[in-house]
Amino acid sequence: MPSIVPEGGTRGWIIPIGGAENKENDRHILERFVNVSGGRDADIVVIPTASRLTETGPRYEKLFRDIGAARVTSMDFDTRRDCHEPGRLERLEAATGIFFTGGNQLRISTLLGGTPVAKLIRLRNASGVTVGGTSAGASILSEHMIAFGDEGSSVISGSVRLAPGLGLTNRFIIDQHFRQRDRLGRLLTALAYNPFAIGIGLDEDTAAFIGPDETVEVEGSGGVTIVDASDVSFSSMDAVNEGQPVCLLGLKLHILVAGATFNLHTRLAQAGSLVVRKE
For the chain, the average pLDDT equals: 95
pLDDT band at 194 (very low <50, low <70, confident <90, very high): confident
What digits encode the pLDDT tens for the residues 225-259? Answer: 999 999 999 999 999 999 999 999 999 999 999 99
CATH 3.90.79.10 holds for 14-270: no
Confidence of residue 272 (pLDDT cuts 50, 70, 90): confident
Report the catalytic residues.
Answer: 135, 177, 204
Model-level pTM? 0.96
pLDDT tens per residue across span 52-78: 999 999 999 999 999 999 999 999 999
pLDDT of residue 22: 97
Question: Could you tell me the strand order of the sheet in which 269-270 lies?
Answer: 71-74, 43-47, 97-100, 130-134, 14-17, 206-210, 215-220, 261-263, 269-270
Q: Decide if pLDDT at 105 tops 90.
A: yes
pLDDT for position 275: 55
pLDDT at 279 over 60: no
